[in-house]
Amino acid sequence: MLRIGLIGAGRIGKVHAETIAHSIADAQLVAVADYYRDVAQAVAQQYGIPVVTDNPLEVIQHADVDAVLIASSTDTHARFIIDAAVAGKDIFCEKPIAADLGKIDETLTAVDNARVKLQIGFNRRFDASFRRIKQAIEDGSIGEPQLLHIISRDPSPPPIDYVKVSGGLFFDMTIHDFDMARFLFGDVEEIYATGTNLVDPAIGNAGDIDTALTTLKFASGALGSIDNSRQAVYGYDQRVEAFGSKGSAANTNLYPDEVTISSGTRVERASLPLNFFLERYMPSYRGELEAFTAAVLHGESIPVTGQDGRVPVVMAMAAQRSLKENRPVRLSEVE
């Protein structure tokens, strides 16, 4: 049994707590910390967690904790990873590690020196549809990969207060798509990004964009595109197409049901796509924690490494520079 200490009991921390409590047979939560102790207490009561504190170090250093799950605010990730590594604890951390490459490298060095495991929470790699596309690429079903198109659009914009501190669209939204591009087609060498404000003028006033199109050049020679919008009025739009020399593999959006209504004038779906990321991706959160638990308990490989967490940050930085300078940017320039 893997005994896990949870740091951060906000929205995503609660998702992980529920997943571990109800879906991960070989893991249990034994401690939870949040700067707001009442928030941690509420999660502890709901899921039967015995140790509750407002001091994350108490969780990290607790003798009954084998591994630490970091779901706190982004600016704390690197510090808690280092603290956990020094304490000899294996680590699962939500993305990103940090927004600064020097801090990321310092963090990964600490993990390597401590010889502990670190998994980064890019949960979409564990989505059944995207994994099936990955399989079709790897088994040669589509031939030589040539073009990748990722559509990633949120149902509604985030609060402006979040936009002001998130690092921008490329860091808080497209970073998932950057990781998915690498997961499916391999390393990216060059990025060209363009963006504008078509959804909410307040987002522009906060210094960000709400609509973007990003093109990618892969090391293999293949090309990719990512289109993002902060608002798709019909629901959470999450689609991928991988095109190759022998064919293509693509997924559709998920719906609450598969019903279509047919009449003498039209055929239409009865329901809109799922409207919230937790509905769309809940099984993938279970998958990533199952993989982490197996890696720690049974010595299996970590499926999303610290380096996997670093590269999408480099890609986001390249995209921001490309947008600002209106030119393609090689990732080596950011490095």
The answer to whether 186 touches 219, Cβ cutoff 8 Å, is yes
Which one, of 215, 120, 228, lies nearest residue 173 by Cα? 228
Given this model, what pLDDT does residue 277 score? 84
> Which residue carries 């504008």 as its tokens?
196
The amino acid sitting at 178 is F
Per-residue pLDDT reduced to its tens digit, 47-90: 999 999 999 999 999 999 999 999 999 899 999 999 999 999 99
**Contacts with 333 (C-beta within 8 Å, 6 or more apart), sequence order:** 318, 321
- Reference 68, options 59, 77, 76; nearest CA is 59
CATH architecture of the domain with range 125-276+311-334: 2-Layer Sandwich (3.30)
Other CB atoms within a 10 A radius of the CB of residue 305 amount to 16
Question: What was the pLDDT predicted at 166?
Answer: 86
Residue 200 has pLDDT above 90, yes or no: yes
pLDDT on residue 162: 87
> What average pLDDT does range 215-236 have in this prediction?
97
Q: In the chain, what are the domain boundaries?
A: 2-116, 125-276+311-334
**Residues 148-166: tens digit of each pLDDT:** 999 999 999 999 988 988 8
Is residue 55 helix, strand or coil?
coil
The pLDDT score that the predictor gives to residue 204 is 96
How many CB atoms are located within 10 Å of the residue 183 CB? 19
- The structural architecture, per CATH, of the domain 2-116 is 3-Layer(aba) Sandwich (3.40)
DSSP string, 119-173: EE--GGGG-HHHHHHHHHHHTTTT-SEEEEEEEEE-SSPPPHHHHHHS--HHHHT
Q: Residue 302 and residue 310: Cα distance in Å, rounded?
A: 15
pLDDT of residue 89: 98
When pLDDT is averaged across residues 118-132 and rounded to a whole number, the result is 97
Looking at residue 327, its pLDDT comes to 98
What is the reported pTM?
Answer: 0.94
Same fold, 2-116 and 125-276+311-334: no
Q: What are 252-302's pLDDT values in tens digits?
A: 999 999 999 999 999 998 899 999 888 899 999 999 999 999 999 999 999
Q: What percent of the chain has pLDDT over 70?
A: 100
What value does the mean pLDDT of the chain take? 96
Range of lowest pLDDT (118-122, 157-161, 246-250, 328-332): 157-161
